[in-house]
Structure 1
């Protein structure tokens, strides 16, 4: 069983990732940390608590994280710019109010304390801007040795979704991404848009999920239905964050290449772009396993199997 910490900016696809991690029997969800990203941190924290409470996992502690990026954005946002997060993430998920509150410790404090004291290695899964993770390893760089694997949803080797060049999570805090990419983690897996754009769920599959009847399946169907309607295609949506949890359960759901990655923190037109050195031109040694492909059928079956569970059968 893997000990997993999820770092989230919940958000619709984050909610699905949380349910998968909280319900799969091969994962022990140690805690969730929240950060500003898709929504302000107040909303991401509230949504995270709602999800866990709804599926009967309010025993999983939630720690509120940082409300602003690790480094300020150096370029003004163009007038009329609409974030890719705007049409697809509900400020408040349509789930009952949580029965618990966030813990008093901050996310960064808890990450440092937990990883310093870990007797078993942890799988760290940030599916949000990397602000909390960069702050924690800046305060206590030695904690990377407690992380067996860090699985990041972020970046693209081709084109972005927040700008033509940049993927949302990396664009929101590329300095934090640069810190994390170059921190020296034993195994860093970067699950890019190239892979997550293949982790699709359709409106018909949402109906299949709803028919399963479990609290998680019903919530997943409702959340993804909203997510699909916010996408241009109107019939399918990529469940980006959940693919990272699916990988933690079954690594064969994605295909990876050993490559060097970094983040652009200075370019006006390329700010936030993930630099994926596909050809080894930089001469820099590989620092990541980069996911450029995914198996959509395997992903959906794993999603369906996991959210069909109840808390009693998952523990």
Structure 2
């Protein structure tokens, strides 16, 4: 039986690859996608999500727009991470595929999540790969909804590797109060995939060329999205000709857990210090007495990830008009 999954995304390029993987893998049942403010403003994350699902022939997957701002902070700076639509922007405002034909649902993301989890007759896996604003709001409405979730798989944070500040990764930094609520919510299983792991699973131009050659919508789309990421990184923080595709590591993990290696740790989020706000504080001390609340990935297998992308994105029969 396929695993029921809800993705919570702030769709730029890496989210797009994760959406395609979850929507096309036969072992995953993507029952909905919720959007949140993050890589780009909410209007763009929602538009991009619809574009991706239309592009691969999965317009049947409903899309729900969520929170347009963090749950507590009023000063979220969109340009903090990079100059929008510049050469070092790995996302761009709009993905390089046609505008969507479908539209978002009238129901909001939080309402959809609450209603779906309350009525669930079998466990659901949550995969938030953007700021955790939607998930925290759901927990504020009904903390018991964690019982309907068999696992929450989060892309975010960093221990030895960060990006938006010297201490913090973007997704957690963008709404640290929300992230702290999620880590302390008591999910039966919480898997965290931080930059420490995703930077070990770089995708290369060679893999992009093989994806492009497949001529499937997913293969062409993935090649475009990942190539933009490689162009943006351009060997500055990674090996030349390769880039991390952070979010798809989470969806790949759902079907091949061995794509990452984890440690069981206690994780909290700093919400107060000017220097370290948004830092995921991972207790790696030997003999720590803090109760672990997360399986944290510190390693990832780039070859297995590439094989999974090629297997899923180049074997899809359904084709659309490519422009």
Q: TM-score range by the shorter chain?
A: over 0.9
TM-score by length of 2: 0.92
Question: Are positions 1:204 and 2:202 aligned together?
Answer: no
Distance of 1:158 and 1:6 partners within structure 2: 26
Show the counterpart of 1:268. Answer: 274
Mapping 1:94-173, distance limit 5 Å? 94-173=96-175
Deviates more, 1:245-254 or 1:91-100: 91-100
- The alignment's C-alpha RMSD in Å is 1.7
Show the counterpart of 1:255. Answer: 261
Q: Secondary structure at the match of 2:233?
A: coil
Show the counterpart of 1:297. Answer: 303
Q: Decide whether the 8 Å contact of 1:38 with 1:85 is kept in 2.
A: no
Question: Are positions 1:32 and 2:33 aligned together?
Answer: yes
Show the counterpart of 1:89. Answer: 91
Structure 1 residue 19: deviation in Å? 0.3
1:174 to 173, 176, 184: 176
Q: Secondary structure at the match of 1:176?
A: helix
Structure 1 residue 107: deviation in Å? 0.3
Show the counterpart of 1:185. Answer: 187
Structure 1 residue 85: deviation in Å? 7.8
Q: Decide whether the 8 Å contact of 1:259 with 1:280 is kept in 2.
A: no
Q: Decide whether the 8 Å contact of 1:65 with 1:107 is kept in 2.
A: yes
Which runs of 4 or more aligned residues in structure 1 lie more than 4 Å from their structure 2 counterparts after TM superposition? none
Structure 1 residue 99: deviation in Å? 1.6
Deviates more, 1:228-237 or 1:298-307: 228-237
Distance of 2:134 and 2:28 partners within structure 1: 22
Q: Secondary structure at the match of 1:57?
A: coil
Show the counterpart of 2:57. Answer: 56
Q: Decide whether the 8 Å contact of 2:14 with 2:247 is kept in 1.
A: yes
Q: Number of paired residues?
A: 309
Distance of 1:281 and 1:41 partners within structure 2: 43
Distance of 2:115 and 2:307 partners within structure 1: 36
Deviations 1:176-196 (A, max 9, x none): 000000000000000010100
Structure 1 residue 311: deviation in Å? 6.1
Show the counterpart of 1:21. Answer: 22
Structure 1 residue 159: deviation in Å? 3.0
**Which runs of 5 or more structure 1 residues have no equivalent in the other structure?**
none
Distance of 2:110 and 2:317 partners within structure 1: 28
Structure 1 residue 23: deviation in Å? 0.3
Deviations 1:213-240 (A, max 9, x none): 1110001001111111111415111010
Question: Are positions 1:47 and 2:48 aligned together?
Answer: yes
Structure 1 residue 202: deviation in Å? 1.1
Structure 1 residue 260: deviation in Å? 0.2
Show the counterpart of 1:307. Answer: 313
Structure 1 residue 292: deviation in Å? 0.6
Indicate how the Cα distance of structure 1 residues 111 and 311 shifts in structure 2: closer, same or farther if over 3 A, else same.
Answer: farther
**Which runs of 5 or more structure 2 residues have no equivalent in the other structure?**
none
Distance of 1:73 and 1:227 partners within structure 2: 29
Mapping 1:61-72, distance limit 5 Å? 61-72=62-73
